[in-house]
Amino acid sequence: MMKKNLFVLLLALILPLSFVCAENYPYRSDVLWVTVPNHADWIYKTGEKATVEVQFYKYGIPQDGVTVSYEIGGDMMSAETSGSVTLKQGKAVIPVGTMKEPGFRDCRLTATVDGKSYKHHVKLGFSPEKIKPYTQMPKDFKEFWENNKAEAAKYPLTYTKELAKEYCTDKVDCYLIKLMLNSRGQSIYGYLFYPKNATKGSCPVVLCPPGAGIKTIKEPLRHKYYAEQGCIRFEIEIHGLNPTLTEEAFKEISNAFNGRENGYLNNGLDNRDHYYMKRVYLGCVRSIDLLTSLPEWDGKNVIVQGGSQGGALALITTGLDPRVTACVANHPALSDMAGYKAGR
């Protein structure tokens, strides 16, 4: 019964996300690209040759005689080969080739119709499960983080909780949280969503760290379905800035402290003890402390979910905190950033 309930919960979480992903397609565009690889799951073994059938529609009509130019190379790398195909009945097949080493191959497409160019690209994986990280694990990695987590845990769990009436509904209560991280006054903010009238021990908890940038939490109600489906959800920002500040204020702060020459992702990067993101990583663990302290937590399910930088933070939090039972990382950033030294 417990497994059935968890399955229903995961469906409730995943299905709305699938609609969000679907919206990434340019559904308001006059044209539609359709790409169909000869492996339905887009995954190949190294040495296997891949092809992609390309279809191109304008106003829903297959475009006959249109030339599609393509460039093919490693993921985020310069093109290794290029060419073009002519669509017949709106379709053509592009030879993507193969890879000798595990990785991803990127096929970048351009079609020009009535003097206007349209671009699209797809990626195919070659034995991606065998990709090895470029950066080697430091010998004291586990010791470093265990010591820092223990030090952070010495500071008592301290936070303020203020009802955010503008984000409450007939099914959901929302609170603005200020979570203190240490005795130096550093903190993070977030919106905590509860199912209305949640009872003790009834709710899985979900931590949602943000994508990159110094910015407010936009449209907090856009993910209200988590709480409507019985979860407690904590969507955070990571810079200690109250999300009720105006967008103009956030933009000014970002311009001052997140430029190319002084971006927070590089701040203190040459020293692991002083690196800006170290505090962010520990702040995510402290957020789990908060969520698991709530009497409404079901005592079992701790989920972390995010996209881009938030996807990376979801993975990192899962790695640092054994209480996490499920991780959803959408297009995670910060992953194997030095991989370009290995030609990827």
For the chain of 344 residues, list the mean pLDDT of each consecutive stretch of 10: 41 40 53 96 97 96 96 92 95 96 96 94 96 91 97 97 97 98 95 96 98 94 96 97 95 92 92 96 98 98 97 98 97 86 81
Phi and psi at residue 235, to the nearest 5°: -100, 120
Q: So what's the pLDDT on residue 338? A: 86
Three-state secondary-structure class, residue 140: coil
* 75 Cβ contact list (under 8 Å, min separation 6): 103, 104, 105, 106, 123, 344
Burial degree of 11 (CB within 10 A; 0-12, 13-18, 19+): exposed
CA distances, 286 to each of 180, 269, 277 (Å): 9, 22, 14
**Calpha distance 303→334 (Å, rounded):** 20
Query: Do residues 63 and 56 lie in contact, with contact meaning Cβ atoms separated by under 8 Å?
Result: yes
Question: Where are any strands of DSSP class E within 182-231?
Answer: 187-195, 203-208
* pLDDT at residue number 336: 84
Give helix 276-293 / helix 141-153 axis angle, nearest 10°: 60
Task: Give the pLDDT score at 268.
Answer: 94
CB-based contacts of 168, cutoff 8 Å, min separation 6 = 174
Straight-line distance from the first to the last Cα atom of the chain, in angstroms, rounded to the nearest whole number: 45
Q: Count CB-CB contacts under 10 A for residue 54.
A: 23
The greatest distance separating any two alpha carbons of the chain, rounded to the nearest whole angstrom, comes to 69
Return the DSSP state at 3.
H
Q: Is the dihedral of CA 285, 290, 292, 298 positive or negative?
A: negative
Tell me 218's DSSP state: -
Domains along the sequence of the chain with CATH: 30-130 (2.60.40.1930), 134-342 (3.40.50.1820)
What is the distance between the alpha carbons of residues 103 and 127, in angstroms, rounded to a whole number? 7
Length of the chain counted residue by residue: 344
Residue where the block lists tokens 């265990």: 146
- Retrieve residue 173's tokens: 């209560």
Q: Helix, strand or coil for residue 85?
A: strand
**What pLDDT is recorded for position 28?**
63
Please give the structure tokens belonging to residue 30: 């006059």
> Cα–Cα distance between 339 and 331 in angstroms, integer?
16
